[in-house]
Amino acid sequence: MFKIVKREEMAEGTVILNEIEAPLIAEKAKPGQFVILKATETGERIPLTMAMTDPVKGTITIIYMVVGKGTAVFRDLVVGDTYQDVIGPLGKPTHLEKVGKVVCVGGGTGIAVLHPITRALKEVGNHVIAIIGARSKDLLILEDHMQAASHELHVCTDDGSYGRKGFVTEALRDVLENEKIQLVVAIGPVPMMKFLSQLTKEYNVKTIVSLNPIMVDGTGMCGGCRVTVGGLTKFACVDGPEFDGHQVDYDELMLRLQAYCEDEKKCYEDYCVLSA
């Protein structure tokens, strides 16, 4: 059992932070790795990349958006409640290397995944420019954390309610026009990563993205998380979750992510009725 020691609601209650006791995972986890959580014995298995780890306290922190029944069940857990299972650390850690100037771009809850990677890229000696975005000011998360993790932070909102008005891709284009960048790391909604990778390809800048396909076992056995990268089939859980952004078949990934949308919607609606 894995106890929740801290719970926060962010982005008007649509995004939840849980700090969870998991000392063995906290000790071993590296930036970019993920865990699979189950709230109950028969609950849905949900993969989430860790936003923070604290090996001294023996805790890991996950941040997730409530999008269906599985995450709604998580949302209803309070401090002192437990997750039945937390499995990890899973996936390959981020490759960390001093390359020079790096831009870390995050959208929505992707900012939570990006945070430990940004901090680690700074710690190995890179100059790190961070660009984060959300639909509006109220939905922006971890601004202070990203400020501390980077040398320079740019904030964008789609509606202009905070920071620069517009998408993170526009802010990134300005940076690429004015600076010599060696690496871009982009994490967020699939369309954001797709368009951002198209942009960095124009400027011939290496780009890493972190993918979030449907997963089941998380250990390379079920094939549920398969993605096409450079024309080859890869399993995001063991070959990723990070891949060369210029090689990913984003359209296929979006189609596969939509496969169970109707069933998920129905499950969520039933759960909301039952738990009302």
String of contacts with ligand FES for each residue 55-94, x by CB under 6 A: ----------------------------------------
Minimum distance, C-beta of residue 217 to ligand FES, in the bound complex (Å):
4
Closest CB to ligand FES among residues 99, 216? 216
Closest CB to ligand FES among residues 160, 223? 223
Binding footprint of ligand FES, residue count (CB under 6 A) = 12
Minimum distance, C-beta of residue 99 to ligand FES, in the bound complex (Å):
29
Phi then psi dihedrals of residue 205, to 5 deg: -110, 125
Minimum distance, C-beta of residue 241 to ligand FES, in the bound complex (Å):
10
Minimum distance, C-beta of residue 219 to ligand FES, in the bound complex (Å):
7
Closest CB to ligand FES among residues 23, 224? 224
Direct distance between the N- and C-terminal alpha carbons of the chain, in angstroms, rounded to an integer: 27
Is 89 within 8 Å of 30 (Cβ atoms)? yes
Minimum distance, C-beta of residue 239 to ligand FES, in the bound complex (Å):
9
Which residues inside 230-249 make contact with ligand FES, applying CB under 6 A? 235, 237
Give 143-181 as a DSSP string. Answer: HHHHHHHSSEEEEEETTSSSSEES-HHHHHHHHHHHS--
Nearest CA to 171 out of 151, 152, 148, 154 is that of 154
Q: Tokens 């990890």: give the residue.
A: 88
**Angle 147-14-7 from CA coordinates, rounded to 5°:** 70
Is 205 within 8 Å of 183 (Cβ atoms)? yes
Minimum distance, C-beta of residue 34 to ligand FES, in the bound complex (Å):
11
Phi then psi dihedrals of residue 84, to 5 deg: -65, -45
166 binds ligand FES (CB under 6 A): no
Rounded distance between C-alpha atoms, residue 218 and residue 140, angstroms: 29
Sign of CA dihedral 64, 67, 68, 73: positive
Closest CB to ligand FES among residues 38, 154? 38
Other Cβ atoms less than 10 A from the Cβ of 176: the count is 18
The set of residues, in sequence order, having a beta carbon less than 8 Å from that of 259 and lying 6+ positions away, is: 214
Closest CB to ligand FES among residues 175, 215? 215
Is 197 within 8 Å of 187 (Cβ atoms)? no
Minimum distance, C-beta of residue 190 to ligand FES, in the bound complex (Å):
17
Closest CB to ligand FES among residues 118, 212? 212
Which residues inside 192-231 make contact with ligand FES, applying CB under 6 A? 215-218, 220-225
**Residue 143 CA, distance from chain mean position:** 15
Closest CB to ligand FES among residues 190, 216? 216
Interface ranges with ligand FES (CB under 6 A): 215-218, 220-225, 235, 237
